[in-house]
Amino acid sequence: MAAPRTTPTRKVLGRLSLPERTFVADALRTETVGGVLLLVAAVAALIWVNVPALHDSYESVSHFHLGPEALGLNLSIAHWAADGLLAIFFFVAGIELKRELVAGDLKDPRAAALPVVAALCGMAVPALVYVLTNLTGGGSLDGWAVPTATDIAFALAVLAVIGTSLPGALRAFLLTLAVVDDLFAILVIAVFFTASIDFAALGGAVIGLVVFWLLLRKGVRGWYVYVPLALVIWGLMYNSGVHATIAGVAMGLMLRCTPREGEKNSPGEHIEHLVRPLSAGLAVPLFALFSAGVSVSGGALGDVFTKPETLGVVLGLVVGKTLGIFGGTWLTARFTRASLSDDLEWADVFAVAVLAGIGFTVSLLIGELAFDGDAALTDEVKAAVLTGSLIAATLATVLLKIRNVKYRRMVEAEERDDDLDGIPDIYEEDDPAYHLRMAAIHENKAAEHRRIAELKAAERTGLAEVAGGAGEEDDRRA
């Protein structure tokens, strides 16, 4: 009688494929540097605003207008940072998502389900927490979307500052969460924060996007073609009333992210490699500089925990994000009959979920849009975003530090390359050629050790003979 066939249990958050590992490592390296700059910019903004002698200069620079009035683009510096520079950030996010879906590990629907469900739960639960807090406290529901975002750069900066190394699977999970999070955040902005639409300008932007797509399809190359066209599309999108960052994510999603025969990298990957440092190192830090400038005092921080709008933001980031991401991940694994990777525990997923409660950049942007026209409440919500992100970062630091010794061992195993071929050994364990290379390396080392052993033995024999001869000569003299 034949034994019943058993289906192997699928593992979640397991080892990344080698191309995916390379991509994630490169992306996170840039984002970590950008995250440190982001932290510096946020601290600089807080100092600039809260030092009395400097406060007026911050307001003057932030509200200084420039740009062509005839084109409807005479904007303040802060406005340029929020609508212009963040379009670059969302352009990169669009490329990341496209690459993940067509060439990355997420092209497998089963693999894509986990981070997508976790990201959706990580947005829905914080929004629910905010709504319940404000229904109970009689606050405004306008800010429900503020605590739904995760800031990957800020999270990575925290990891860099505290010296914690996350294993590749957890780093990729955090990055994918943030990318999916950014996409849904831009959809929320487009749907819920567009008050009125200029259909002529919107039509012009759509035509520009079609031209952009056709040029890509025809294989036309040259930054001098695409950059001016992108600026025109962005300007039309801004004047349409739809948030201008939509143009960035739309163009990012149009780029081809699968390499063709003879190509080392696809156009999307190549452009992302060029633009990501601009996004992480310039666009996002400058946005933070002109958005994080809020007055901080004991009374202001106390108000964060007493007003329903601000308390909803803090609870949404710290509690809602954690419960949403962890719960979504656990439920997905439970109902797909998958199990966690043998190297990880659910405590690791919980710690990453807490870390994802850092919702800096996009949360600040949505806060400005949600309470547009109420400057006082906007600043209070910004203070709540800063407070919630700081609490999440502190809690995540404690949780990750507890597991840091194990993480360090896992990272060392992932990066070990004893045969020096540029590929981590962990990806070559099933390759006979790898084991032959390692055998040759060990044989060479063994031969070298035998040679050294023979040399040392000869030296000892020589020393013994010299010592023995000296004793006999002394005896004859006696």
| Residues 357-389: tens digit of each pLDDT | 998 888 888 998 888 888 888 888 989 999 999
Query: Which position has the token pair 């066939």?
Result: 5
324 CA to centre of own chain: 18
Range name among 14-18, 80-84, 116-120, 446-450 with the lowest pLDDT average = 14-18
Q: What pLDDT is stored for residue 298 in this prediction?
A: 64
Q: Is 183 exposed, middle or buried (0-12, 13-18, 19+ CB in 10 A)?
A: buried
By C-alpha distance, which of 239, 234, 245, 246 is closest to 208?
Answer: 234
Q: What pLDDT is stored for residue 275 in this prediction?
A: 92
By C-alpha distance, which of 184, 63, 58, 194 is closest to 124?
Answer: 184
Q: Which value, to the nearest 10 degrees, does the dihedral of the CA atoms of residues 252, 257, 260, 262 take?
A: 90
Query: In the structure encoding, which two tokens stand for residue 323, read together?
Result: 């419960």
pLDDT digits (tens, 9 = 90+) for 439-461: 888 888 899 899 999 888 888 88
Q: Name the DSSP class of 259.
A: P
Quote the CA–CA distance of 393 and 107 in Å, as a whole number. Answer: 31
Query: In the structure encoding, which two tokens stand for residue 189, read together?
Result: 């902005």
Angle at 369 between CA 366 and CA 375, to 5 degrees: 115
What's the helix, strand, coil split of the chain in %, to 5?
75, 0, 25
Give the chain's length.
478
Range name among 6-20, 31-45, 222-236 with the lowest pLDDT average = 6-20
Query: Which position has the token pair 């319940």?
Result: 132
Q: What pTM was computed for the model?
A: 0.81
DSSP characters over 430-441: T-HHHHHHHHHH
Q: Over the chain, what is the mean pLDDT?
A: 84
**13: alpha, beta or left? (left if phi > 0; alpha if psi -120 to 50):** left
**89: alpha, beta or left? (left if phi > 0; alpha if psi -120 to 50):** alpha
Of the chain, the end-to-end C-alpha distance in Å amounts to: 94
Quote the CA–CA distance of 246 and 347 in Å, as a whole number. Answer: 36
Q: SS3 of 57, please?
A: helix
Quote the CA–CA distance of 266 and 457 in Å, as a whole number. Answer: 59
Quote the CA–CA distance of 417 and 432 in Å, as a whole number. Answer: 16
Instruction: Name the H helices within 86-108.
Output: 86-102
Q: Name the DSSP class of 74.
A: -
pLDDT at 150 over 60: yes
In degrees and rounded to multiples of 5, residue 340 shows phi and psi of -70, 150
Say if CB 292 and CB 366 are below 8 A apart.
no
Q: What pLDDT is stored for residue 214 in this prediction?
A: 95
Q: 478: pLDDT confidence band, cut at 50, 70 and 90?
A: very low
Say if CB 357 and CB 389 are below 8 A apart.
yes
Quote the CA–CA distance of 243 and 314 in Å, as a whole number. Answer: 25
Quote the CA–CA distance of 366 and 352 in Å, as a whole number. Answer: 23
Q: 6: pLDDT confidence band, cut at 50, 70 and 90?
A: very low
CA distance to 178, 301, 356, 361, per residue, from 120 (Å): 11, 30, 13, 18
Q: Which value, to the nearest 10 degrees, does the dihedral of the CA atoms of residues 438, 417, 273, 31 take?
A: 160
Q: 233: pLDDT confidence band, cut at 50, 70 and 90?
A: very high
Beta strands in 341-459 (DSSP E): none
Quote the CA–CA distance of 210 and 213 in Å, as a whole number. Answer: 5
Q: What pLDDT is stored for residue 211 in this prediction?
A: 96
Residues 6+ apart with CB under 8 A from 19: 103
Quote the CA–CA distance of 351 and 349 in Å, as a whole number. Answer: 5
pLDDT at 353 over 80: yes
CA distance to 32, 50, 291, per residue, from 394 (Å): 18, 23, 22
pLDDT at 121 over 90: yes
By C-alpha distance, which of 385, 439, 359 is closest to 153?
Answer: 359
